[in-house]
Amino acid sequence: MTRCLLSLTFALAVVSLASAQEKKPLRWGTDPTGGAPFVFQNKAGEWTGFEWDFAAYLGEKLNRTPVMRKGDWDKLPERLDQPADGPEGIDIVLNGYEQREDLSKKYGMTQPYYTYRLALVTQAGNTSLAKWSDLTGKTVGVLGGSAAHDYVKEAFADKVTLQINPDVATVFGLVQAKRMDATVQDSTAALYFVRELPNLKTVGEPRKPGFYVIYLRKNDEELRKQIDDAVKDGWKDGSLRKIYQKYGLWNADQEWLTYTQTGEWPPDEDAAEVKKDEAKGNPWPRMLNELVRAAGMTVFLAVTSFPLAMLMGLVLAIGRVYGPWWVAAPLGVYVEVVRGTPLLLQLYAVFYLLPTWLPDGFALTPLQAGILGLALNYAAYEAENYRAGLLAVPRGQMEAALSLGMTKLVAIRRVVVPQAARIVIPPVTNDFIALFKDTSVCSVILITELTRKYNELYNFNREYVAELAFVTAGLYLVMSYPLAIAARWLEHRLSPNREGGRA
Amino acid sequence: MIRVSNLVKTFGTNRILDGVSLEVRTGEVTVLVGPSGGGKSTLLRCINGLESFQEGEVAVGDVTLAGGKPHPERELVALRRKVGMVFQQFHLFPHMTAIENVLSGPRFALGQSRAEAEPRARELLARVGLADFADARPATLSGGQQQRVAIARSLAVNPTAILFDEPTSALDPAMAGEVLAVMRDLAASGQTMIVVTHDMDLAKQATTAHRMVAGKIVQSGSGGAVAGW
């Protein structure tokens, strides 16, 4: 099994060799589905956000090309465990990550680039919630794994109903729709959403100041120093202030941070105007284009992983049916474990866990991990299909083949498998259609396929949530329905009872 | 040519073969008769290596299988190249045409190319009277035709002996007649055969016949003597 994995990894790695760039890239990991005001797309589809601008600023200061690398927020630091120059590798984590003791032990950490506080946000008309202590008995949404999450758990324990969501914008939407009483958020996000969404307000004084820092590899000492210097310069010459003012994020806390970082007081008063980034236009051509391209990734995942699954499934099934017990038993365990655990966990394991067991340099890219994970999962299901098919071929067929002097393997290949293949076509084609839709699970390991693209788009285009959902579902349907038709045709064509013609 | 010595096969406490010994010389037709459950088919399957056995020995030419232990595939394949088998239920490969069935042994067991093996395969089909059915699928053939294809298939790998396991029991008399005609033709040409049958006419023509009851040979003699008993 390991050798099969390694050779597959190798094959995929050769395909995905990146071409060299002139300027060294500064690959920064972020989760754009976390959204405004950190990193998000404006109505014109351009990337913006204070961290986008901050990354651009760092790129300029370090003479490197900033390259955004997307991923799930709570998994960003772990990506530092993988090589930076891999296809989805990152140099730094830059996405509102707080200064945390656990992370700073494991990873390098820069000087802070922003001071946030925790703000309490509820509906503007909510009179039952006027101060923090009113939270008792309420439903509170937080971003999973954030400082706010930590704080609410610690300060309110079981006095509130905690609802954890991986997506900031979703939480604010739920509060707005009164499906949650309130949310505790970093002031950055709170300030932005209270300004953007009607009928939301902050309540009480923001609490518990903390710092946003950049995490990088422990041994990347030089890069850390360069970033620290760049941040310090940014405080001094007002570059950071300009960025923060653009998004309405400059406040006394930042002035104080400037002072502690540079010793200069008062900070430069040369303020930039807060710019409106709203460029109106019809977003549909762009969104459709993005969705269709993401659908291409969905198709690619399906057509690469399924043949692999069929091949592995056949080996598993033959081993189980015809192998000695010491081959059949472990294969049986594999099949039951894979069928009995969620695909989601398996993908996590392949992407995050597997590289830690393999020698360096064998870290899988998200795409490789996705294809491999799907193939490993579906191999178990295909194995069961084939096993049923192999057992459905009468025993006399095998005996007749053996009596002619064929070896067991030849008899399986020439006599049993061709007959079993006809039996298993319907369930196998069904599985292909199922796998086609299961590719959406790959969104959890950073692959931008159709479902993830949908999530990304609707985050920035809340007014089209329903339309986007219909278009996305429609895309799945127009792709999977022809598959179903093709499957039926194949079934008919290969039916053993069909008269005439040679196979 | 074929020598079976003191063969014992048990299933649980049931002794299916209880010390069977027999010898078949080249060119002879040996018939096994007797009531159902007497162990005739099991004996054939042991001679072909499709069943294992606990005690005794099966020797075919220079290949010897001893009872009580598993046999490596190499030995089983060597044995089966010497003895072909024709089954009661034909067991033609349904995904292949008649000619492809006949070619399957030469191609997949002997490693010949299709072109190399095809002239003789067609010859064999002609010999069993099915030259015109080369491209027919088994499902479109009658039982008698299928059994004749099966005989041609087992002949195609040039076995020194062929074992027939009740070859006509699944056929109506007319079709059985077609198959028996082919078998008589084979016997006349000096093909070594062991036939399990209930057909007394066939038994009477045999060189040797053995009557098996409850796992034992209870009577042996010329075909006429045993069949007429």
> Which residues of A are less than 8 Å from B109 in CB distance?
404-406, 410
Strands (E) in A73-194, as ranges, are: 92-93, 108-109, 114-123, 139-143, 161-165, 182-186
The mean pLDDT value for A44-72 works out to: 89
Contact B73/A414, CB-based, under 8 Å?
A: no
Q: What is the pLDDT of residues B9-21, one digit of tens each?
A: 998 888 999 999 9
CB-nearest partner of B93 from A397, A403, A422: A397
CA dihedral sign, ordered A147, A148, A151, A152: negative
Q: Which of B44, B50, B146, B162 to mutate to test the interface with A (most CBs of A within 10 A)?
A: B50
Could you tell me what percent of chain A has a pLDDT over 70?
A: 88
pLDDT tens digits for range A432-483: 999 999 999 998 887 888 998 888 777 767 678 889 999 999 999 999 898 8
Lowest mean pLDDT segment, chosen from A183-197, A337-351, B79-93: A183-197
Q: Binning pLDDT at 50, 70 and 90, where does residue A264 land?
A: low
The predicted complex's ipTM stands at: 0.95
Closest by CA to A398, choosing from A322, A343, A330, is: A322
Burial of B127 (0-12, 13-18, 19+ CB in 10 A): middle
pLDDT of A22 above 90: no
Query: What tokens does A169 get?
Result: 């914008």
Q: What is the pLDDT of residues A119-143, one digit of tens each?
A: 999 998 888 888 888 888 888 888 8
Supply the pLDDT for residue A361: 67
CB A425 within 8 A of CB A491: yes
Between CA B152 and CA B99 the distance in angstroms is: 9
- pLDDT exceeds 90 at position B179: yes
What is the per-residue burial (b if ≥16 Cβ within 10 Å, else e) of A98-107?
A: bbbeebeeeb
For the segment B100-104, the average pLDDT, to the nearest whole number, is 97
Cis peptide before A37, with omega less than 30 degrees from 0? yes
Give residue-wise pLDDT tens across range A385-398. Answer: 999 999 999 999 99
On whether any CB of chain A is under 8 Å from the CB of B167, the answer is: no
Omega before A266 within 30 of 0, i.e. cis: yes
Q: What is the CA radius of gyration of chain A?
A: 28
pLDDT at A354: 83
Higher pLDDT, A168 or B117: B117
Sign of the dihedral through C-alpha A56, A58, A60, A65: negative
What is the SS3 assignment for A321? helix
pLDDT for residue A359 is more than 80: no
**Residue A81 pLDDT:** 86
Q: What is the mean pLDDT of chain A?
A: 83
Of residues A400, A414, A502, nearest to B91 (C-beta): A400
CA distance B91 to A401: 9
Residue type, A76: L
Residue A403 and residue B139: Cβ atoms within 8 Å? Answer: no
In angstroms, what separates the C-alpha of B228 from chain A's closest C-alpha? 32
Cβ <8 Å between B95 and A422: yes
Q: Which of A397, A406, A496 has its CB closest to that of B109?
A: A406
- Pick from A394, A399, A404: which is nearest to B157 by CB? A404
pLDDT (tens digit, 9 = 90+) per residue, A240-263?
A: 888 888 888 888 888 888 877 776
A503 has a pLDDT exceeding 80: no
Average pLDDT on A97-104 reads 82
CA-CA-CA-CA dihedral for B179, B182, B187, B193, to nearest 10: -50
Task: Name the band, by pLDDT with cuts 50, 70 and 90, for residue A234.
Answer: confident
**Would an 8 Å CB–CB cutoff place B158 in contact with chain A?**
no
* A178 C-beta neighbours (distance < 10 Å), count: 13
CB A107 within 8 A of CB A217: yes
Contact partners, residue A79, CB within 8 Å, separation at least 6: A29, A69, A71, A88, A89, A90, A93
**Shortest distance, CA A374 to any CA of chain B (angstroms):** 32
- The pairing of strands A182-186 and A139-143 is parallel
Q: Give dist(CA A275, CA A443) in Å, integer.
A: 33
Tell me if B179 sits within 8 A of B2, measured CB to CB: no
Read off the pLDDT of each residue in B46-71 and give the average, rounded to a whole number: 92
Cβ B104–A401 below 8 Å, yes or no? Answer: yes
Q: Residue A274: pLDDT band by 50, 70, 90 thresholds?
A: very low
Q: Which two tokens stand for residue A259?
A: 């002072």
- Res B77 pLDDT > 50: yes
Query: Which residues of chain B are within 8 Å of residue A404 when distances are taken between CB atoms?
Result: 80, 84, 104-105, 108-109, 153-154, 157
Q: How confident is the model at residue A87 (pLDDT cuts 50, 70, 90)?
A: confident
A343 phi/psi in degrees, rounded to 5? -55, -40
**CB B73 to CB A415 under 8 A?**
no
Average pLDDT over residues B186-194: 92
Q: How many CB pairs under 8 A join A and B?
A: 73
| B137 has a pLDDT exceeding 90 | yes
- Side-by-side strand order, sheet with A25-30: A65-70, A25-30, A92-93, A215-216, A108-109
Contact B95 A503 (CB under 8 A): yes
pLDDT score at A272: 36
Taking the Cβ of residue B93 and every Cβ of chain A, the question of whether any pair is shorter than 8 Å is answered with yes
What does pLDDT average to over chain B?
93
Interchain CB contact of B75 with A (< 8 Å): no
Distant-in-sequence, close-in-space partners of A82: CB < 8 Å, separation ≥ 6: A88, A89, A355, A363
Q: Decide if B157 and A407 are in contact by the 8 Å CB cutoff.
A: no
